[in-house]
């Protein structure tokens, strides 16, 4: 009997030693999830992440801080008066990098054949457009070492270097897309995958970011001429037909306009838009006093009839399935206009300002008439008009905040009595100068610079 | 592998066959067991032959019979709660009956002398090298709870429980000897030797349990074990005792043994009818103010979000004046009514009754026994409707001895349970959120109105809330009216569960047995929730269906040999082989936008629906063994080892891990020198044991974390905005932001424990103490990764954690004057947890709110609150603005530890003849709770603390400033119609608020500070401002029970008991209950944010035995 027990015990051991690992092997892959995906579907995924970053929370905050909307409740009441902590932006910082940039890089990595140069180009163009914006908002950010596993703690590059790199990747995107202008298989932007339209977007984006860097170079003729050169190859159609927009549908939490989703579905009451709570609404109301402008169309497009909130009806900017602008032709024209006026070329500047007004008449059903040279007593007056129009043309976009910081919030309007009204901070005496860094990066990447207590008010290098 | 298994079973079969040819020589042992003093027969005493499977329990006459015992010499052991253990050597001869009548002496020790081990065998407690807490059937019968975990509250040192909700079937959190994991710290639950599913029922759309934003209170699947069926519960608190369960045992093991039949003497069948009636009540209502109305700036507003309106006592008391007369709920122009309403209680019902009844049949003879129980529980929650728990439970346990050495045992249980739950937490439909925020002058009735427009158009059945008091269909509800929510937003979970074991024991020789045991646990959990159109969360309506199917199969083959080597040395060797297979399968669909608003909320009535699914299969296999030696009848040495593989480890990691344990128990009071001199007649020192144990065990990682996956792109931000790849041409995919880890392995915990058990004064006083250190290395951590790397997290064996603790238990029988006795049990335990390594990550979020995140932080206890703080300078002094108000820091930090400093249970048991009074106090000292509910209600102006009315002098009115920087005089002169500051005839000024001092000059704390500034939680108060001490003393249980013989109409006895649970609480915590926790049973503790409140309960129980 003891022998049998011995045999039995030994056999249990052998069974155990040999069998344990075999019994458990083959169950380590999730049966419902793939470990790879195609370049063209991943491109859509990258676009969705890009759009969520560009259209939603950072745009809400930008709109509050440029007083194009008003924080009315809860955290948005705090944000309205510049009370923000590093926690607030963590989610969107993660979307910007792990969502948008990461998937754009995956797409680029998969597009090795010339047949996919168009897709590679689109991914590069979107990357440049995105990273220029990220640098504008946060200042120094990770880029040269970003998205390069196994490096989990990329260094933070200087803001100016990121601009340079973003301009470089936009150039690369233009080159790649031009080498194969076949339409993309899929595209969630209104560009519908058309190569020439993507290239125009790239040129407009280059003009925008060159202008971002111009202030630190004293608005030198060199950089202003580059802005003009790029912009003239950009999105210019005054009918809006070349604009880049994010497209939306009616499905809750899936493809609705993200402003509609916030204002109606998710966080009703957190923000509103009143005459007293905004600068943009009284500014648009007062425009008619110049005798040439009628903003009724644009005012009604963005805001409701009682001027208490955004227009979320079917005809409004924030209808459930309304498209959201990524880049409007008016911005390109105004970039050219600003460059010309800073170069002293008032005639060309006026032409471009009028192009933007034509765009507004066409797209928003404004009924303004065109300005003539005598409408502006001085070049400075024309320049102010260009800046004021840019402020309104970038309505509810992150770029409005980038723009306002670059020009030190120097916008104004004249009320019915002819008194000049300027924008004032909602609390204290200074305006926000950036988005502060996120907690999520602070706790994981020792390379992130510390945020001083008054960090929100420290200018990014481009605006010093 | 399969071939090897077959080979193994064939070997077993051959062995069994061979042995059955041997001629069996068998005898019988029988006798009676009586109380030595009273002579009363002891019913249900356990009698067994040491180191064999032979055993029996005494019947109602105190008679026991052990049949078919192989010839030989044995040690007979008797254990019975409340009596000293009994041992005697006996000799069993072929075809003879050995008779042994036993008289037991009463003992102060109320613990059973026998412990069921982690693998289902029995061992005498006095031989154990580890401390094990036990709860028996008698205690469960009076404790009066519906689930196992809650019954363990205050019952032993080192058992930390958190009863976080009063909702029916709400899950109670349990942690043994501190957290060892950043994941689940729930111990493994083993029923009749086989592990079962014991997590919470959760699902995406319901998300009960897991996340802080859980919309209903979690339900634990441990609830499916009917306490009426339980014979005993043993709690093995850490790896030193639980290592034999290897990679599932780092958090300890709770071993549950269900009841068995047993011989019933002359009667072949005994029938017990048991019934209990429960009445639940709210433990403590949340304190709300009733003196200031809806509105802002001291002015009433019928659409006001907050309650910073007019002083209600200044109103005329006449009828309200309405905007129009064609509609009773038209907007109020002038509020005149002084009526107020208690929104902390207006959603309660008067009688939340529960009936729990059933019948048990037990019987048996010398060849077989069986146990059959049917129980039905119908519980009603304390809310008006849609809150309940129904459980139907059937259990059959049977044992059959086929020949003298083959025993088959089957246990099987079917449980059908359904529960309805109401919304809670940070949720616009939450009961308390909508309830407590409602202004005191708003009547939540009616919650549904037929709206009449100014032009007379009628809209039927619109929700009416304080933010849409007219029920205007064009308006939005803001928050759901709690009465509407209770009636129209049902959430239901339906579970059908089958679990059971089958076990075959074969004893070819007296010293050898084989056990093959399989266990299966299968349940479906179907969950439903519906939000009608017009609800605050889902304007177009939402319905969600979630179906989970879970299956677990465990197989264990055990061989045990024991041998007396010499007179003084005997040993036992067990070798086992284990396989398990676990499968979870989930399908769900969520739908929004109903086409027909008054039709049922079905998918076919919906414009949009989103399906989801999940499937996991995990497996593990192990070879294990245990060797124990009894040396000189005083030293007991045990060693165990387990080699285990699992499917969840990364391909580049080690595949097989070894989990050892060793323990020594030394009954030094058996040393001849001590026994003769110190112990003598036991009147002073009667027993002494020293023990030491070491063990290693682990937690497995979750399934499928070793690879990086791609999926449908679904980015979403923190506010609810989201996009989904399926909606765009051709579809959009994204790479998961969670980085797969091919090096993933189990998280290993090692534990060292030492302690002693002393008994004095003839065992009337016993004292046990244990100290332990457990260390988790390679703790699994979803390490946050810098998003700039392309990922946001990676699960890795990246953290280290340790617990150091002390456990004391004192059981003292202070008084025994027959027939009266008074026994006190004190359990005291202290645990210090520290996170010792986080791989460089500063803070890991365990699930909370922005600004109030329970976290893992280096060198801090797990779960510390990481949140926003008051701004301080380098010296730690609070920074003030120019007017003397505190500033908020832009960065977060550690602001409090929710873990208690120590916990204690104090149990007093008084007996007078058959009458027993049991009083249990549960004491928890320390532990911070974030009272986020209060913080928010400060902003809303409805908290009781916001009931303030202060009069100041004219000089003060001209000098003191509010948070906005203005003085009252400035407010008064700025507007003739302002209502925040009242100038009295004598020039003094009265206002709603108070004078405070925050470290600088005196300031006015009023609406500006609480509603606009950082004095209130919603608009910017740092989390630190609402951290409170969560110490408490709870009167957990008071029970009075009486057992009396009742020999009429075939009855044998009857037991009547009255129990009160959670009747009183003593605490400085200002919320509903310091135990409340929105994190449910997770590691995210200390979060009080509109959780559903806890309850107190009265229970009357009657049990009649036939």
B608 interface with A at CB cutoff 8 Å: yes
Distance from C-alpha of B840 to C-alpha of B798, rounded to nearest angstrom: 9
Contact at CB, B787 and A97, closer than 8 angstroms: yes
Most A CBs within 10 Å: which of B562, B723, B795, as the mutation test of the A interface? B723
Distance from C-alpha of A184 to C-alpha of A244, rounded to nearest angstrom: 15
In what order do the strands lie in the sheet containing B1027-1029? B1027-1029, B928-931, B1087-1088
In tens, the pLDDT along A171-208 reads 999 999 999 999 999 999 999 999 999 999 999 999 99
pLDDT recorded at residue B8: 46
pLDDT recorded at residue B648: 94
More confident residue, B840 or A71: A71
Q: Rg of the Cα trace of chain A?
A: 26
Q: B968: part of which helix (H) or strand (E)?
A: helix B968-974
Contact at CB, A254 and B726, closer than 8 angstroms: yes
pLDDT recorded at residue A30: 92
In tens, the pLDDT along A8-28 reads 656 655 665 566 678 888 898
The answer for residues whose C-beta is within 8 angstroms of residue B1047's C-beta and 6 or more apart is: none
* Closest residue in A to B305 (Cα–Cα): A73
CB of B824 closer than 8 Å to CB of B906: yes
CB of A155 closer than 8 Å to CB of A141: no
Distance from C-alpha of A227 to C-alpha of A234, rounded to nearest angstrom: 10
pLDDT average, residue stretch B874-883 = 91
Distance from C-alpha of B481 to C-alpha of B485, rounded to nearest angstrom: 6
How many angstroms away from the CA of B694 is the closest CA of chain A? Answer: 24
Distance from C-alpha of B626 to C-alpha of B573, rounded to nearest angstrom: 6
Task: State how far Cα B700 lies from the chain centre.
Answer: 21
- Which ipTM score applies to this complex? 0.95
β-strand partners of A375? none
> Predicted confidence band at B19 (pLDDT cuts at 50, 70, 90)?
very low
What whole-number percentage of chain B has pLDDT above 90? Answer: 58
pLDDT recorded at residue B22: 44
At CB < 8 A and 24+ separation, what contacts does B448-455 make? B448/B484, B449/B329, B451/B327, B451/B329, B452/B326, B452/B327, B454/B324, B454/B326
CB of B78 closer than 8 Å to CB of B125: no
B819 prior amide bond cis, ω within 30: yes
Structure tokens that stand for B76 in this block: 């007979």
> Predicted confidence band at B850 (pLDDT cuts at 50, 70, 90)?
confident
In tens, the pLDDT along B1085-1102 reads 899 999 999 999 999 999
B729 interface with A at CB cutoff 8 Å: yes
In tens, the pLDDT along B499-524 reads 999 999 988 888 888 999 999 999 99
Quick one: angle between helices A195-214 and A221-231, nearest 10?
160
What is the distance between the terminal CA atoms of chain A, rounded to a whole angstrom? 91
Query: Residue B370: phi, psi to the nearest 5?
Result: -145, 155
Secondary structure (DSSP) of B218-255: -EEGGGGS-GGGEEEEEEE-SHHHHGGGGGG-TT-EEE
Structure tokens that stand for B573 in this block: 């060797």
pLDDT recorded at residue B623: 93
User: What does pLDDT average to over chain B?
Assistant: 88
In a 3-state reduction of DSSP, which class is residue A155?
coil
pLDDT recorded at residue B51: 66
Q: Which residues of chain A make contact with B707, given a CB cutoff of 8 A?
A: 28-30, 35
Distance from C-alpha of B498 to C-alpha of B483, rounded to nearest angstrom: 37
The answer for residues whose C-beta is within 8 angstroms of residue B383's C-beta and 6 or more apart is: B347, B348, B349, B422, B431, B486
pLDDT average, residue stretch B9-37 = 63
In tens, the pLDDT along B556-614 reads 999 999 888 888 899 999 999 999 999 999 998 888 888 887 777 788 888 888 888 99
Smallest Cα–Cα separation from B28: which of B282, B366, B265, B345? B366
Q: Which residues of chain A have pLDDT under 70?
A: 1-20, 453
pLDDT average, residue stretch B659-686 = 85
Distance from C-alpha of A433 to C-alpha of A429, rounded to nearest angstrom: 13
In tens, the pLDDT along B730-772 reads 899 999 999 999 999 999 999 999 999 999 988 889 999 999 9
The answer for residues whose C-beta is within 8 angstroms of residue B65's C-beta and 6 or more apart is: B28, B29, B30, B56, B263, B366
CB of A262 closer than 8 Å to CB of A56: yes
Query: Residue A252: phi, psi to the nearest 5?
Result: -55, 135
Distance from C-alpha of B4 to C-alpha of B2, rounded to nearest angstrom: 5
The dihedral region occupied by B602, where left means phi > 0, alpha psi between -120 and 50, and beta the remainder, is beta
Q: Which residues of chain B make contact with A8, given a CB cutoff of 8 A?
A: 11-12, 15, 559
pLDDT recorded at residue B707: 94
Question: B805 exposed, middle or buried (CB, 10 Å; 0-12, 13-18, 19+)?
Answer: buried
Distance from C-alpha of A377 to C-alpha of A312, rounded to nearest angstrom: 40
Contact at CB, B719 and A149, closer than 8 angstroms: no
> Predicted confidence band at B82 (pLDDT cuts at 50, 70, 90)?
low
**CA dist B435 → B161, B382, B640, B1072, B1078 (Å):** 28, 15, 55, 14, 17
Q: Which residues of chain A make contact with B613, given a CB cutoff of 8 A?
A: 32
Distance from C-alpha of B92 to C-alpha of B29, rounded to nearest angstrom: 7
Contact at CB, A269 and B614, closer than 8 angstroms: no
pLDDT average, residue stretch B339-368 = 89
pLDDT recorded at residue B154: 86
3-state helix, strand, coil in chain B (%, to 5): 10, 50, 40
Smallest Cα–Cα separation from B196: which of B497, B626, B492? B497
Distance from C-alpha of B348 to C-alpha of B166, rounded to nearest angstrom: 12
Largest CA-CA distance found in chain B, in angstroms, rounded:
111
Handedness of CA B206, B211, B213, B214 (dihedral sign): positive
CB of A228 closer than 8 Å to CB of A352: no
pLDDT recorded at residue A108: 97
β-strand partners of B991? B950, B981
Give residue for tokens 């009295």. B984
In tens, the pLDDT along A400-454 reads 999 999 999 999 999 999 999 999 999 889 999 999 999 889 888 999 998 776 7
Most A CBs within 10 Å: which of B743, B788, B965, as the mutation test of the A interface? B788
- Number of helical H runs and strand E runs in chain B: 11, 62
In tens, the pLDDT along B408-420 reads 999 999 999 999 9
pLDDT recorded at residue A3: 57
pLDDT recorded at residue B55: 75
Residue in A40, A43, A153 nearest the CB of B786 = A153
pLDDT recorded at residue B3: 43
**B13: pLDDT strictly greater than 60:** no
How many angstroms away from the CA of A103 is the closest CA of chain B? Answer: 6
Q: A94: part of which helix (H) or strand (E)?
A: helix A90-94
Residues 731 to 760 of B: which have CB under 8 A from any A CB? 731-735, 737, 739
In tens, the pLDDT along B909-939 reads 998 888 889 999 999 999 999 999 999 999 9
Structure tokens that stand for B254 in this block: 């709770």
How many angstroms away from the CA of B356 is the closest CA of chain A? Answer: 43
**Strand B253-258 vs strand B188-191: parallel, antiparallel, or unpaired?**
parallel
Distance from C-alpha of B260 to C-alpha of B335, rounded to nearest angstrom: 68
**B122: pLDDT strictly greater than 80:** no
Distance from C-alpha of B628 to C-alpha of B632, rounded to nearest angstrom: 13
- Counted across chains A and B, CB pairs separated by less than 8 A come out at 342
**CA dist B600 → B285, B440, B536, B588, B606 (Å):** 35, 34, 19, 18, 10
Task: State how far Cα B789 lies from the chain centre.
Answer: 38
Distance from C-alpha of B357 to C-alpha of B220, rounded to nearest angstrom: 21
The dihedral region occupied by A126, where left means phi > 0, alpha psi between -120 and 50, and beta the remainder, is alpha
């Amino acid at each position: 009997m003891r022998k049998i027990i011995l045999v039995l015990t030994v056999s249990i051991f052998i069974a155990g030693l040999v069998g344990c690992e075999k019994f458990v092997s083959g169950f380590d892959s999730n049966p419902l999830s793939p470990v790879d995906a195609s370049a063209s579907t991943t491109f859509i995924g990258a676009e969705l992440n890009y759009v969520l970053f560009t259209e939603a929370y950072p745009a809400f905050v930008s709109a509050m801080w440029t007083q194009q909307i008003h924080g009315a409740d809860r955290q948005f009441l705090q944000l309205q008066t510049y009370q923000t902590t590093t926690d607030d932006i963590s989610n969107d910082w993660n979307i910007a990098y792990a969502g948008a940039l990461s998937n754009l890089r995956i797409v680029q990595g998969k597009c090795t054949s010339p047949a996919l140069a168009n897709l590679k180009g689109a991914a590069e163009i979107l990357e440049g457009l995105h990273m220029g914006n990220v640098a504008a908002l946060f200042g120094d950010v990770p880029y040269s070492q970003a998205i390069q596993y196994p490096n989990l703690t990329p260094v933070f590059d200087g803001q100016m270097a990121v601009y340079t790199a973003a301009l470089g990747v936009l150039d690369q995107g233009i080159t790649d897309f031009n080498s194969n202008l076949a339409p993309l298989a899929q595209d969630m932007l209104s560009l519908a995958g058309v190569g020439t339209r993507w290239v125009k977007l790239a040129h407009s984006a280059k003009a925008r970011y060159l202008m971002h860097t111009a202030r630190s170079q004293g608005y030198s003729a060199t950089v202003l001429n580059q802005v003009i050169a790029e912009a003239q190859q950009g999105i210019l159609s005054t009918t809006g037909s070349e604009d880049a927009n994010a497209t939306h549908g009616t499905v809750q939490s899936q493809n609705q306009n993200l402003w509609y989703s916030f204002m109606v579905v998710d966080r009703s009451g957190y923000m509103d838009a009143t005459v007293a709570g905004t600068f943009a609404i009284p500014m648009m109301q007062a425009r008619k006093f110049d005798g040439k402008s009628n903003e009724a169309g644009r005012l009604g497009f963005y805001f409701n009839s009682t001027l208490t909130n955004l227009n979320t009806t079917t005809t409004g900017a924030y209808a459930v399935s309304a498209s959201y602008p990524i880049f409007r032709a008016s911005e390109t024209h105004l970039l050219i206009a600003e460059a010309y006026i800073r170069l002293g070329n008032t005639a060309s500047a006026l032409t471009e300002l009028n192009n933007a007004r034509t765009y507004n008449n066409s797209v928003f059903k404004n009924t303004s008439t065109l300005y003539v040279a005598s409408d502006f007593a001085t070049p400075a007056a024309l320049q102010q008009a260009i800046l004021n129009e840019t402020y309104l043309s970038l309505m509810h976009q992150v770029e409005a905040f980038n723009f306002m910081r670059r020009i030190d919030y120097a916008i104004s309007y004249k009320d019915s009595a002819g008194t000049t009204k300027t924008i004032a901070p909602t609390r204290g005496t200074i305006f926000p100068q950036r988005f502060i860094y996120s907690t999520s990066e602070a706790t994981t990447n020792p390379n992130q610079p510390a945020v001083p207590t008054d960090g929100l008010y420290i200018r990014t290098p481009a605006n010093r | 592998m399969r071939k090897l298994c077959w080979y193994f079973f064939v070997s077993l079969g051959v062995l069994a066959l061979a042995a059955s040819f041997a001629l069996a020589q068998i005898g019988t042992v029988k006798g009676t067991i009586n109380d030595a003093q009273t002579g009363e027969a002891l019913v249900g005493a356990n009698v067994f032959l040491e180191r064999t499977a032979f055993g029996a329990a005494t019947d109602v006459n105190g008679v026991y019979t052990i049949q078919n015992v192989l010839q030989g010499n044995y040690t007979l052991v008797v254990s019975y709660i409340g009596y000293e253990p009994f041992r005697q050597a006996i000799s069993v001869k072929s075809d003879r009956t050995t008779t042994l009548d036993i008289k037991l002496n009463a003992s102060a020790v109320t613990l059973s002398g026998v412990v069921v081990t982690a693998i289902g065998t029995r061992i005498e407690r006095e031989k154990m090298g580890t401390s094990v807490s036990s709860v028996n059937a008698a205690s469960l019968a009076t404790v009066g709870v519906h689930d196992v975990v809650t019954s363990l509250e205050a019952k032993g040192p080192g058992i930390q429980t958190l009863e976080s909700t009063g909702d029916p079937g709400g899950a109670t959190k349990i942690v043994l000897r501190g957290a060892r994991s950043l994941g689940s710290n729930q111990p493994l639950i083993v029923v009749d030797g086989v592990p079962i599913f014991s997590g919470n029922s959760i699902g995406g759309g319901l998300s009960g349990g897991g996340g802080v934003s859980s919309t209903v209170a979690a339900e634990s699947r441990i609830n499916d074990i009917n306490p009426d069926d339980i014979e005993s519960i043993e709690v093995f608190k850490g790896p030193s005792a639980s290592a034999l369960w290897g990679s599932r045992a780092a958090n300890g093991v709770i071993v549950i043994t269900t009841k068995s039949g047993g011989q019933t003497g002359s009667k072949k069948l005994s029938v017990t009818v048991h019934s209990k009636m429960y009445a639940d009540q709210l433990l403590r209502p949340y304190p709300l103010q009733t003196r200031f109305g809806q509105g802002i700036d001291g002015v009433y507003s019928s659409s006001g979000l907050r309650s910073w309106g007019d002083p209600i006592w200044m109103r005329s008391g006449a009828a309200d004046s309405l905007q129009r007369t064609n509609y009773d709920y038209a907007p109020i122009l002038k509020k005149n009514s002084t009526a107020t309403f208690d929104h902390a209680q207006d959603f309660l019902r008067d009688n939340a009754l529960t009936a729990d009844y059933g019948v048990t049949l037990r019987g048996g003879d010398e060849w077989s026994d069986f146990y059959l129980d049917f129980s039905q529980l119908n519980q009603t929650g304390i809310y008006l409707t849609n809150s309940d728990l129904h459980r139907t439970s059937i259990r059959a346990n049977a044992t059959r001895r086929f020949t003298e050495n083959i025993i088959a045992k089957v246990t099987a249980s079917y449980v059908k349970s359904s529960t309805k739950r109401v919304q809670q937490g940070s949720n616009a439909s939450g009961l308390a959120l909508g309830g407590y925020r409602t202004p005191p002058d708003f009547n939540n009735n009616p919650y549904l109105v037929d709206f009449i427009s100014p032009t007379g158009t009628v809209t039927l059945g619109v929700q009416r809330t304080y933010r849409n008091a007219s029920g205007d269909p064009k308006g939005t509800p803001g928050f759901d009216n709690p009465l509407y929510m209770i009636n129209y937003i049902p959430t239901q979970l339906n579970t059908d569960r089958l679990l059971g074991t089958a076990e075959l024991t074969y004893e070819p020789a007296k010293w050898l047995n084989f056990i093959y045991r399989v266990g299966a646990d299968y349940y479906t959990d179907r969950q439903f929730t519906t939000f009608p159109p017009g609800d605050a969360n889902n304007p177009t309506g939402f319905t969600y269906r979630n179906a989970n199917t879970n299956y677990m199969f465990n197989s264990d083959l055990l061989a045990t040999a024991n041998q007396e080597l010499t007179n003084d040395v005997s040993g036992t060797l067990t070798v086992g082989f284990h396989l398990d297979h676990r499968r979870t399968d989930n399908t769900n669909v969520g739908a929004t936008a109903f086409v027909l608003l008054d039709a049922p909320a079905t998918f076919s009535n919906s414009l949009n629906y989103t399906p989801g699914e999940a499937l996991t299969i995990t497996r593990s296999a192990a070879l294990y063994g245990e060797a124990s030696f009894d040396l000189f009848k005083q030293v007991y040495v045990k060693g165990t080892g387990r080699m285990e593989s699992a499917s969840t480890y990364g391909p580049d990691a080690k595949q097989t891990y070894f989990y050892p344990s060793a323990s020594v128990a030394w009954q030094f009071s058996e040393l001849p020198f001590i026994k003769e001199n110190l112990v003598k007649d036991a009147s002073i020192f009667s027993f002494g044991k020293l023990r030491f144990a070491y063990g290693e065990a682990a937690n497995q990682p979750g399934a499928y974390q070793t690879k990086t996956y791609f999926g449908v792109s679904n980015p979403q931000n923190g506010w609810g905005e989201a996009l989904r790849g399926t909606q765009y041409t051709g579809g959009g995919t994204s790479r998961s932001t969670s980085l797969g880890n091919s090096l993933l392995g189990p998280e290993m915990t090692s534990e060292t424990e030492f302690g002693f058990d002393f008994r004095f004064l003839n065992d009337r006083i016993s004292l046990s103490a244990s100290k332990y250190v457990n260390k988790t290395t390679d703790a699994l951590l979803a390490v946050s990764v810098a998003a700039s790397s392309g990922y946001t997290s990676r699960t890795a064996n990246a953290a280290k954690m340790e617990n150091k603790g002390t456990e004391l238990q004192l059981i003292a029988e202070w008084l025994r004057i027959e027939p009266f006795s008074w026994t006190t049990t004190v359990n005291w335990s202290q645990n210090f947890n520290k996170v010792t390594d986080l791989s460089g990550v500063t803070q890991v979020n365990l699930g909370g709110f922005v600004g109030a995140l329970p976290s893992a932080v280096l060198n801090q206890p797990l779960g510390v609150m990481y949140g926003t703080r008051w701004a301080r300078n380098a010296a730690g002094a609070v920074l003030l603005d120019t007017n003397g108000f505190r500033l908020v820091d832009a960065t977060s930090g550690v602001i409090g530890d929710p873990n208690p400093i120590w916990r204690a249970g104090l149990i007093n048991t008084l007996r007078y003849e058959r009458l027993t009074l049991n009083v249990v106090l549960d004491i928890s000292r320390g532990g911070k709770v974030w009272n986020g509910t209060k913080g928010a209600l400060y902003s809303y102006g409805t908290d009781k603390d916001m009931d303030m009315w202060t009069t100041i002098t004219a000089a003060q009115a001209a000098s003191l400033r509010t948070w906005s920087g203005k003085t009252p005089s400035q407010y008064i002169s700025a507007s003739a119609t302002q209502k925040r500051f009242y100038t009295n005839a004598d020039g003094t000024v009265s206002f709603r608020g108070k004078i405070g001092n925050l470290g600088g000059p005196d300031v006015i704390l009023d609406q500006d500070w609480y509603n606009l500034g950082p004095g209130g939680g919603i608009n910017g108060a740092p989390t630190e401002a609402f951290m409170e001490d969560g110490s408490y003393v709870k009167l957990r249980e008071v029970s009075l029970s009486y057992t009396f013989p009742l020999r009429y109409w075939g009855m044998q006895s009857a037991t009547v008991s009255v129990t009160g649970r959670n009747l009183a609480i003593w605490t400085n915590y200002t919320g509903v209950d310091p135990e409340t926790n929105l994190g449910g049973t997770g590691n995210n503790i200390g979060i009080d944010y509109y959780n559903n409140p806890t309850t107190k309960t009265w229970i009357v129980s009657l049990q009649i035995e036939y």
